Every structure is written in structure tokens, then in C-alpha cells.
């Protein structure tokens, strides 16, 4: 409880590199935020948040994929959720030095309490009253030269691989939850302690980053390498190192084209390194390549991405993880050698029809989204493919913005699985914001 309260107090002094990245990149309609201050300030305070209600018209039993027939007629179930609530704080020290920080409360944060149990001889008992996470997602110092053409960022930084990691605020995608494909096969939001060299030159933005590698102990069947980021310990293991890059082009008005990637070893980036000769040559190299784009002009927004990842030695890593102790942080699951994610979404502002002056400050986007992803797209050796890990997802809905910083979302979606499984339809409605409180 004390740790949580301390984190919460620190949270009031935290901010986001997400905002910093946006304010540093060439401006376009996708990245605009309302500025309420007339004079520039060294202090920036902002944030974003989401509240969502979802009704799932499929079974929530964990055996629904191993015995689909038994659970095909299960009743629907509903959920309220606070996917992300984030506080940003940034400060410009002058002479090119700046600070960015961010604290994130996922799914409402965590709560615990101590109670005296009358039925257990008056013993004190600690209980978890709410799940979720509280995390310091960003904390960095940035030094800029040549008017932003060259920047060195040091600290805890967003890894700029894929569309969702770079553009993950709720006003930057149509669905109530972050795009499912990228959020499944890679860490999202992916943040690591490292060093980043980035800048803007003309219509280009570039970034290269040195960071610790992922930890193969925590790779899994459904999420591929996503669990390997961060650390279950009080420190981040850095036996292996990795590199990431991103290049954005803004040459065409309203259009962003982006290419990003990651490569690094993962097998020995763990707390307990095996001395078994069987694994002496295992590296567990993770390589991810990603292309994404956004077109935002003429009342039309179109976004898309394609991600492909490869893991070497996936069969041996699977065998090693499955042999770990039951109390280890590993899920001890089979791991695919390759994973894939592809999506496209498009929305048109219905308020743009007729050029009604009263609606110029508002928007109502009718959108559709299609995506395909598979965390076990390919498997190695004796590893069996879990067919339910690959799926298509279709969503349609509305996004209403009464002002630019607030959006009300409604969508119907369906996950289309292999014919041996049951499809997963759902309806969601939510409200979100993203903006600055002080600048």
C-alpha cells in the first residue's frame, strides 16, 4: 500500500514521451492537440485516458479453445474497463535540455487492504481488491542540437517499432481498445531503458535506439515475444543488447509513411543462465520488421500496418522454458518461430458532408477495420501450431468528437477463427480523452 501511494504521489509529477514525440515530429492532423495557453511555458502537463464497456457474445471459459463444442452456446458476458489512464509531465530546462516522464494506470491500477478476519482467530489478512498495473512508462532526459535536427534521449523510452507503439493515444485509432494484432505479438506500449538518437531533417524524422534485449523465458504461445519486455524483478536484466530504428516521411501533405524494426538476442537475457551444453549455441535472436502509414485529409482517415517477426531457436527455447520450475515467471508454453500482423482501417467524417459551419469543430467518423494476426504463423521442428492463435478481426463503428481532445466510440466487432473454433463477436462503447492541461 505504501509503495502504491508513493507511486501515486510521484504520478502527479509524471508525463509522456508520447506527447514529446508528437510535439517534436512534423505536425499533421493526426497529431494536433488543443493549446490553451497563450504564452509558452517550460512546464507541460497532460494526459490521456479511456473508459470502456464491452459485451462479449462468446464463452469466457479458458477451455473454450480445447473444447469448442461444449462452450459454443455459453451466455454472453459484460465488462467495464479502464484500459489506460496516463499522466504526463515535461519540463524544458533550456539550452536544449528537456525532461519527459509518464505514469500509466492500466485497468484501474491496483488496490489492496488489510483486514482482521473474525473467522480466522482475528488474524490480519492482506487482500487484493482490484487488479491492474501502475507503471512508470517513461523517464528521460533529452538534449537537442541544431534546432531539433539531432537529439540524444537517455532514460526510459518508448521503443518506436510498429504503428501502435508510436501512436497509441486513444484519439489515434478508431477502436475502443488498441489495435489487437500489434498489441498481441509485440510489447505494447513497449518501453525500455536505453539511449535514443533521433531528429527531424526536412520532411523526414529518424530514430535509432540501443536497449536491453527481450527475455525469452517469458515468451508464450498467444503473445509470441510480447511478454519478454520489462522485468518481473526490481531491475532490468541486460546480458544481451538490442537495436531498434524508425524512419517517418511526411513529404505528401496529410500522409505519413513509416518503416521500423528491431533485432536482438533473448535467450541468455535472464536471471538464471543455464550451463547445460545442450543450449550453448542458442541465441534466440528476435527480428521484427514493420511498415505503417496514416493518411488524414479531406475528411478521410486511413491507417494501416504490416508487421513480421522471426525468432531463432524457438524449438529449443520452448523445451527449455517447459523444463523451468513451476514458480518461475515463464508461462512454459510452446513458441512460434514466426509471427505476423496486418491491418487497415478507414473512417470518413460524416459532418464534412455539406460543409455545415456549426459542425466544423466537431466530427463523426464512420469507420471500418480489418486485421489478421497469428502469433504462431510458423513453427519449428516438433512445435505444434495452436490454430486458435491465428485469426481475422472485423470491426465497424462510430467515433464522435465534440471537441478535438475528446472522443466517444462505439463499435461492433467479430473475431473470425478457424472453423474448428467458435467466432467471437462483441459490442463496445467508450469515452476517451487526450490533451494538455498546461503548456
**pLDDT digits 0-9 by tens, 80-93:** 999 999 999 999 99
Task: Supply the pLDDT for residue 11.
Answer: 40
Q: Which of 91-100, 167-176, 258-267, 274-283 has the lowest mean pLDDT?
A: 274-283
C-alpha 49/C-alpha 54 separation (Å) is 16
Q: Spell out a b/e string for 262-297, using b for 16 or more CB atoms within 10 Å of the CB, else e.
A: bebbbbbbbeeeeeeeebeebbbbbebbbbbbbbbe
In the 8-state DSSP scheme, what is residue 282? -
- DSSP letters, 203-226, are TEEEEEEEEEPP-GGG-BTTTBTG
C-alpha 111/C-alpha 347 separation (Å) is 38
Within 8 A by CB and 6+ apart from 287, the residues are 261, 262, 263, 309, 310
Q: Tally DSSP H helices, then E strands, for the chain.
A: 6, 19
Q: Above 70 in pLDDT, residue 195? A: yes
Q: Above 50 in pLDDT, residue 411? A: yes
Confidence of residue 111 (pLDDT cuts 50, 70, 90): low
Task: Supply the pLDDT for residue 361.
Answer: 86
Domain ranges of the chain: 49-79+91-96+137-438
Residue 313: C-alpha distances to residues 8, 263, 381 (Å) = 41, 15, 10
Asked if residue 212 lies in contact with residue 193, where contact means CB atoms within 8 angstroms, the answer is yes
SS3 content of the chain, % helix, strand, coil (to 5): 15, 50, 35
Q: Above 50 in pLDDT, residue 295? A: yes
SS3 at position 242: strand
Q: Above 80 in pLDDT, residue 67? A: yes
CATH of 49-79+91-96+137-438, one of 3.40.30, 2.40.160, 2.60.120, 3.10.450: 2.40.160
The H or E element containing residue 199 is strand 191-201
Q: Above 80 in pLDDT, residue 27? A: no
Q: How many CB atoms lie within 10 A of CB 23?
A: 15
Please state, rounded to an integer, the average pLDDT across all residues of the chain.
88
Task: Supply the pLDDT for residue 274.
Answer: 87
Mean pLDDT for 126-138 is: 73
Give CA 357 to chain center in angstroms: 37
**CA nearest to 46, candidates 78, 22, 77:** 22
Asked if residue 374 lies in contact with residue 338, where contact means CB atoms within 8 angstroms, the answer is no
Mean pLDDT for 401-415 is: 97
SS3 at position 436: strand
Task: Supply the pLDDT for residue 374.
Answer: 98
C-alpha 158/C-alpha 246 separation (Å) is 12
Task: Supply the pLDDT for residue 125.
Answer: 59
SS3 at position 132: coil
Q: Above 90 in pLDDT, residue 134? A: no
The H or E element containing residue 129 is strand 123-130
Q: Spell out a b/e string for 56-78, using b for 16 or more CB atoms within 10 Å of the CB, else e.
A: bebbeeeebbeebeebeeeeeee
Q: What is the pTM of this model?
A: 0.86
Q: Which of 36-40, 304-308, 420-424 has the lowest mean pLDDT?
A: 36-40
Amino acid at each position: 500500500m505504501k509503495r502504491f501511494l508513493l507511486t501515486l504521489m510521484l504520478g502527479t509529477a509524471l508525463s509522456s514521451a508520447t506527447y514529446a514525440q508528437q510535439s517534436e515530429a512534423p505536425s499533421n492532423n493526426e497529431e494536433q492537440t488543443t493549446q490553451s495557453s497563450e504564452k509558452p511555458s517550460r512546464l507541460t502537463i497532460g494526459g490521456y485516458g479511456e473508459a470502456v464497456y464491452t459485451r462479449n457474445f462468446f464463452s469466457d471459459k479458458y477451455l473454450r479453445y480445447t473444447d469448442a463444442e461444449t462452450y459454443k452456446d455459453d451466455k454472453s458476458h459484460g465488462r467495464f474497463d479502464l484500459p489506460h489512464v496516463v499522466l504526463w509531465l515535461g519540463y524544458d530546462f533550456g539550452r536544449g535540455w528537456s525532461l519527459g516522464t509518464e505514469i500509466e494506470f492500466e485497468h484501474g491500477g491496483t488496490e489492496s487492504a488489510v483486514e482482521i478476519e473474525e473467522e480466522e482467530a482475528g488474524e490480519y489478512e492482506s487482500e487484493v481488491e482490484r487488479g491492474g498495473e501502475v507503471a512508470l512508462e517513461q523517464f528521460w532526459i533529452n538534449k537537442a542540437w541544431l534546432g531539433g535536427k539531432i537529439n540524444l534521449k537517455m532514460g526510459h523510452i518508448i521503443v518506436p517499432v510498429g504503428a501502435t507503439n508510436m501512436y497509441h493515444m486513444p484519439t489515434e485509432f478508431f477502436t475502443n481498445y488498441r489495435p489487437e494484432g500489434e498489441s498481441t505479438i509485440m510489447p505494447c506500449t513497449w518501453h525500455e531503458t536505453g539511449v535514443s538518437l533521433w531528429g527531424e531533417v526536412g520532411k523526414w524524422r529518424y530514430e535509432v535506439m540501443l536497449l536491453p534485449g527481450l527475455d525469452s523465458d517469458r515468451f508464450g504461445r498467444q503473445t509470441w515475444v510480447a511478454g519478454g519486455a520489462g522485468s518481473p524483478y526490481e531491475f532490468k536484466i541486460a546480458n544481451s543488447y538490442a537495436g531498434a530504428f524508425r524512419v517517418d516521411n511526411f513529404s505528401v501533405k496529410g500522409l505519413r509513411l513509416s518503416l521500423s524494426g528491431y533485432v536482438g538476442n533473448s535467450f541468455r537475457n535472464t536471471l538464471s543462465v543455464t550451463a547445460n551444453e545442450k543450449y550453448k549455441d542458442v541465441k534466440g535472436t528476435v527480428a521484427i520488421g514493420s511498415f505503417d502509414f496514416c493518411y488524414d485529409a479531406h475528411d478521410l482517415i486511413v491507417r494501416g500496418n504490416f508487421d513480421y517477426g522471426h525468432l531463432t531457436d524457438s524449438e529449443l527455447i520452448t523445451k527449455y522454458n517447459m523444463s523451468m520450475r513451476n514458480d518461475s515467471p515463464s508461462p512454459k508454453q510452446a513458441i512460434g518461430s514466426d509471427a505476423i500482423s496486418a491491418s487497415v482501417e478507414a473512417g470518413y467524417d460524416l459532418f464534412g458532408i455539406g460543409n455545415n459551419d456549426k459542425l466544423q469543430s466537431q466530427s463523426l467518423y464512420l469507420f471500418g477495420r480489418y486485421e489478421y494476426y497469428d502469433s504462431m504463423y510458423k513453427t519449428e521442428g516438433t512445435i505444434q501450431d495452436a490454430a486458435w492463435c491465428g485469426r481475422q478481426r472485423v470491426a465497424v463503428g462510430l467515433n464522435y468528437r465534440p471537441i478535438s481532445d475528446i472522443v466517444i466510440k462505439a463499435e461492433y466487432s467479430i473475431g473470425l477463427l478457424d472453423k474448428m473454433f467458435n467466432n467471437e463477436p462483441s459490442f463496445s462503447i467508450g469515452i476517451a480523452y487526450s490533451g494538455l492541461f498546461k503548456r
